[in-house]
């Protein structure tokens, strides 16, 4: 079992190294101006029906702090907050939902062909995991002329033999009309 876990961890580290080889490591200041503002959309996870949410995104003046608030009704009866803080090469995330204890994680931010991914090791659903928070641009359409973002929150569980990230939740972000 120990050898299997070690082999899985080595495989996952190879995946992260290959991603970093094709992606550029960037800082919050590159993502901040793209997300600032008020957004509408829906949030969904594999066990619940999609729900309408509003999302507010703010950046500090020096663009070293990114604050995201997802409205009440997304998963808990309180709003969620995601506070990303640039600390040298890493980004510290403090996540709070008003129900459980705050979660702190150290992440690295990458950019690849217009998408941004925060990657790091942490815990999701009380399981050790590699965490990926990915922001993919959505193209403009008749219904959403300004385009938007798809925010996927994914995990690769370290206690699982799968080599895939599993989407834990996804949110669409569109500018209100």
Let me know the angle formed at the C-alpha of 156 by 152 and 158, rounded to the nearest 5 degrees.
155
Spell out the residues 6+ positions from residue 90 whose beta carbon is closer than 8 angstroms to its own: 106, 107, 108
pLDDT at 75: 59
pLDDT band at 15 (very low <50, low <70, confident <90, very high): very low
Spell out the residues 6+ positions from residue 111 whose beta carbon is closer than 8 angstroms to its own: 23, 24, 26, 30, 31, 117
pLDDT at 127: 85
Taken in order of first residue, the domains within the chain and their CATH numbers are 2-174 (2.40.128)
Closest CA to 149 of 175, 112, 176, 123: 175
Tens of pLDDT, residue by residue over 16-42, are 444 545 789 999 999 999 999 999 999
Q: Which long-range contacts (CB under 8 A, 24 or more apart) does 42-46 make?
A: 42/171, 42/172, 43/70, 43/74, 43/75, 43/169, 43/170, 43/171, 43/172, 44/169, 44/170, 44/171, 45/75, 45/167, 45/168, 45/169, 45/170, 46/167, 46/168
Tens of pLDDT, residue by residue over 35-65, are 999 999 999 988 888 899 999 999 999 999 9
pLDDT at 16: 45
Ranking 45-59, 82-96, 136-150 by mean pLDDT, the lowest is 136-150
pTM summary value: 0.82
- Using DSSP's 3-state secondary structure scheme, residue 27 falls into coil
């Amino acid at each position: 079992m120990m050898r299997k876990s070690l082999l899985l961890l080595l495989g996952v580290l190879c995946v992260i190294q290959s991603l970093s080889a094709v992606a550029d490591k960037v800082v919050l200041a590159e993502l901040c101006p793209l997300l600032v503002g008020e957004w509408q959309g829906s949030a969904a996870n594999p066990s619940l029906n999609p729900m309408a949410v509003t999302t507010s995104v703010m950046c500090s003046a020096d663009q070293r702090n990114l604050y995201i608030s997802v409205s009440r009704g997304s998963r808990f009866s309180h709003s969620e907050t995601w506070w990303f803080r640039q600390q040298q090469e890493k980004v510290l995330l403090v996540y709070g939902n008003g129900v459980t204890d705050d979660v702190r994680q150290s992440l690295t931010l990458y950019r690849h062909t217009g998408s941004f991914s925060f990657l790091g090791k942490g815990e999701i659903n009380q399981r050790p995991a590699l965490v990926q928070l990915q922001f993919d641009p959505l193209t403009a359409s008749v219904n959403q002329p300004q385009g938007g973002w798809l925010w996927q929150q994914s995990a690769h569980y370290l206690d699982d033999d799968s080599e895939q990230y599993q989407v834990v939740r996804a949110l669409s972000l569109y500018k209100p009309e």
